[in-house]
Structure 1
């Protein structure tokens, strides 16, 4: 028994070390030199693009995702199971495939992009493309997370409220939404984190244009070619951001 427990602890420690040791690379950061010579215009530009595009994307994700999650949790109809599966496909797609799909759909010669181009709208290599990517990769996470939250809400409470004369919409805002609020918040945070960390799809569909489509991951990629210290600094920012997200989501459980 003690031997098995020892092996389990060793396995646990090895797994933790495999994840933690690469983070020690940031110990090499020369913070004094870094702050003196930091390209703040470059960094703030990437932060601005990521923040603005993710904010707009989250609004759209919330508007589209909330009713979709409710339908997924509460209704049944023909082929719903397969449609639910389709919603989750972006979660497992390689980023390059995601970028190519969006390019073939909304690019200048894409199925929808061709029609948009005919009226003077070009989505590729623009902030709109970044927002579209954030929505595409973040929406499934939000829908699945919120749907699970709705499933945990006792249907009996909703039925009771309906029998007392409340309208379905009033029941949703008085009972369902407040009880699922934690899942909704977690879904928004996770969707935001998934989108803001996207690299492959962004560089394929939106490009890497400073001040327009250069998000934080793309800024790290660009900085690698000129100054590894800047790339490490941006990476450290992303790690701290990820740690913050993990802490927030665990507190909501």
Structure 2
């Protein structure tokens, strides 16, 4: 224990830790372990798990592709409306997910602003797997942008300016200096993005519905199982938690440097 931390602070920290740990212990004690293999190998559970992993991975890749340029523009440029743009990017963090689903429906639904024109071309997004990916991307992208923007603010522009003063082009500076400097923030942002996409529920069920094998992700499967088969819901919740823990552990694992 650090000598600089008051005992009361340590006690409150332990209380906070218990607040997180106790529910997971309760989940583990509520599982009928002998029934676990049967509960987890049902076709609906396997379909939901595979769909969640596939769509969350796709959403994360999209968030990386969109989030890096957006974070760079917000962090390194000044333009009219930048504050408003930053506020809009953060809106999905604070609105209820079901509201995010309604917003997406109004934009990409069959009668939506963009969806109406796409539907006329024979392209329907709502209630498809694409809708799941869009919903997950919409609620997850702010995590990527916020993480990268904070990292850019703390790292500054010194190395990029030095590289450009030595004759490096902006594009080469971006790939050889900026991206390597962003790597820690990019990893953290990707982890948060994937975890948020994996657990997305409200926007998905509102915009994409719940069709087995097409739009019914793991959170939706858990919600439906909670009404009809509580034991299955608990088992599926454990799987979702384990996947999230593994992803976070792999992303944040740093091998200790060996003494030479």
Same-fold status (TM-score > 0.5): yes
Cα drift, residue 63 of structure 1: 1.6
TM-score (norm 1): 0.90
- 2:87 counterpart residue number: 85
The secondary structure found in structure 2 opposite 1:221 is helix
Matched, 1:12 2:4: no
Cα drift, residue 231 of structure 1: 1.0
What does the per-residue CA deviation read over 1:135-184, in whole Å, with 9 as the maximum and x for residues that have no partner? 10111111111122222334222111111111011111111111111101
Name the CA distance, whole Å, in 1 between partners of 2:180 and 2:94: 31
Name the CA distance, whole Å, in 1 between partners of 2:20 and 2:158: 44
- 2:23 counterpart residue number: 22
Name the CA distance, whole Å, in 1 between partners of 2:178 and 2:196: 26
| Greater shift in the superposed pair: 8-17 or 99-108 | 8-17
Structure 1 residues 182, 37: closer, same or farther in 2, change over 3 A?
closer
What does the per-residue CA deviation read over 1:102-129, in whole Å, with 9 as the maximum and x for residues that have no partner? 1122111211121111111211110010
The secondary structure found in structure 1 opposite 2:228 is coil
Cα drift, residue 191 of structure 1: 0.9
Cα drift, residue 6 of structure 1: 5.0
Size of the aligned set, in residue pairs, is 249
| Greater shift in the superposed pair: 133-142 or 238-247 | 238-247
What does the per-residue CA deviation read over 1:193-215, in whole Å, with 9 as the maximum and x for residues that have no partner? 11110111111111111000010
TM-score (norm 2): 0.88
- 2:184 counterpart residue number: 182
CA contact (8 A) 1:153 1:176 kept: no
Mapping 1:185-196, distance limit 5 Å = 185-196=187-198
Name the CA distance, whole Å, in 2 between partners of 1:38 and 1:142: 31
Cα drift, residue 248 of structure 1: 4.9
CA contact (8 A) 2:139 2:197 kept: yes
Cα drift, residue 28 of structure 1: 2.6
Structure 1 residues 21, 64: closer, same or farther in 2, change over 3 A?
same
- Runs (5+) with no aligned partner, structure 2: 255-260
- 2:258 counterpart residue number: none
Structure 1 residues 218, 171: closer, same or farther in 2, change over 3 A?
same
The secondary structure found in structure 1 opposite 2:213 is coil
- 1:65 counterpart residue number: 67
| Greater shift in the superposed pair: 69-78 or 48-57 | 48-57
The secondary structure found in structure 2 opposite 1:224 is helix
Name the CA distance, whole Å, in 2 between partners of 1:47 and 1:33: 18
Cα drift, residue 31 of structure 1: 1.6
